[in-house]
Amino acid sequence: MGALLEAWGRIAAIAVKELRQLGRDRLTFGMVVGIPLLQILIFGYSINFDVRNIEAAVVDQARTSGSRALVRQLEATQVLHVTRQYGSPLELERAIDAGEVSVGIYVPPDFERRRLEDGRPAAQILVDGSEPTIEGVVRALAGAPQPLRAGASAFPARPIEVRTLYNPEKRTAVQIVPALIGVILNMTMVIFTAIAIVRERERGNLELLITTPVRSAELMAGKLLPYIGVGLIQTTLILLVGQWLFDVPVVGGVLDLYAAAALFIAATLMLGLLISTIAQTQFQAVQLSFFTMLPSILLSGFMFPFDGMPRAAQLIAQVLPLTHFVDLVRGVVLRGAPLASMPLPLLKLAAFFAIALVLAAVRFRKRLD
């Protein structure tokens, strides 16, 4: 009995020591409290299966009171939010190809005659099938009868034809696998570089590097270059497995895809390097890396439609490089869009890389001082 009490006393002493050490480690203690609070707030508000305000564009070639009423009725459901007007179906398809909108509403010139004919759709909705959830939501919306105006009879049971672009078979793998390139790269690249500087300091190599002629910018570049090659190898593996096992097509240019992947890899590596200048230990570096991963996966549009998220969640997602890479990779791989037609995601990724580079360089110089 006495030996057992002595053992419990030693265990209690170690536990008290660990609690005191945790209290002195402000960063870890802050993450114990802050990470759950921030993530439950972010994800509780942003993860929403009740999709609303999907950006849509309209081509109304009928220009009648009935066609305008149809568009207003679709908007009144709050599922679609019309942001653009185009003059032809070709312009509408180009906008969807470039990722400017996710849904297009086409009203033909003979709309009034069509809606009076049984079994013939009066209008057409084009849906970007590369994004999850949207196609099912729009199809349910199109299948519901929509009255044109007060006192008017409802449309027939299927007044609107839904045409799914880029993924007519509605296969989930086609939507998920291209975006998985970004998710996997984000997980591996951030962790690889997040522990880079911390590991050098813990092993005592950082002091040795300070005494060499290597500059801080050169040290960071030397840390990043090997991982860019590793990231491109991972990209190739995911593409090959996606085509071999899941029959995911690559419609666009391979060079465009690798250019987008290289920029994304550089941005995520710089994020990891910035984390490594903040963390004091490798454990803290891994914790901070995971703190950035969950928001990236859940807010980037990888699993949930970006347009359906609350405005605050969309603003947070704009800071995450994965959000913009998901737009780029789905545009190139599934929609066949060239990078030149998607300048905004490219500029945002480049801006993230530049800002993270400056912050990491400043913090690294302070650490060396």
Place 146 in a pLDDT band, splitting at 50, 70 and 90: very low
- Say yes or no to pLDDT of 202 above 50: yes
C-alpha separations of 268 from 25, 193, 327, 349, 367 in Å = 26, 9, 16, 10, 21
Contacts of 71 (CB under 8 A, 6+ apart): 58, 60, 82, 105, 107
Nearest to 192 by CA among 262, 282, 261: 282
For the chain, the domains span 54-165, 172-368
The whole-number pLDDT of residue 11 equals 73
Q: Which helix (H) or strand (E) holds 343?
A: helix 343-368
Give the pair of three-digit tokens for residue 23: 């209290």
Contacts of 305 (CB under 8 A, 6+ apart): 51, 54, 102, 131, 132, 133, 134
How far apart CA 85 and CA 228 sit, in angstroms, is 41
Instruction: Tell me the mean pLDDT in the region 136-150.
Output: 64
CB 255 within 8 A of CB 330: no
Residue owning tokens 């085509």: 243
Q: Of the given ranges (150-164, 219-233, 291-305), which has the lowest mean pLDDT? A: 150-164
In our burial notation (b when 16+ CB lie closer than 10 A, e otherwise), range 199-214 reads ebbeeeebeeeeeeee
Instruction: Tell me the mean pLDDT in the region 73-86.
Output: 90
Global confidence as pTM: 0.80
Residue type, 327: D
CB 272 within 8 A of CB 293: no
How far apart CA 64 and CA 265 sit, in angstroms, is 50
**Length of the chain (residues):** 369
Nearest to 299 by CA among 9, 34, 11, 39: 39
CB atoms within 10 A of CB 116: 9
pLDDT, tens digit, 9 for 90 and up, residues 100-120: 899 999 999 998 888 877 777
Superfamily of domain 54-165: abc type-2 transporter like domain (3.40.1710.10)
pLDDT, tens digit, 9 for 90 and up, residues 344-359: 999 999 999 999 888 8
How far apart CA 148 and CA 145 sit, in angstroms, is 10
Mean pLDDT of all residues belonging to the chain:
81
